[in-house]
Amino acid sequence: MKELYGAGILFFYFFKWPYVIGFPFLYFHGMQNNYFLNALWLYCLFLILKDFYTFYKRRKTNNED
């Protein structure tokens, strides 16, 4: 299970930005509604928000030291 989790993290580390930017473009230019791709987009968006949160949290703790 750890290997699967690690592979997913590595895959989404490189895949999340192009997918978050490209999916709305495709969706509004004629792509059919697909619940799996919608959920995947939300997951990638969650990962990006988590990255921003951890970045600012580390930055804040480094500035306090």
Nearest CA-CA partner of 37 in 54, 25, 19, 21:
19
- Distance of alpha carbon 11 from alpha carbon 30, whole angstroms: 26
φ and ψ of 30, to 5 deg: 110, 0
Residue 11 corresponds to which tokens in the numbers above? Answer: 């895959």
Mean pLDDT score of the chain: 85
Residue 65's pLDDT is what? 60
Residue 57's pLDDT is what? 87
Contact 41, 23 (CB under 8 A): yes
Residue 35 has pLDDT above 90, yes or no: yes
38: confidence class by pLDDT, cuts 50, 70, 90: very high
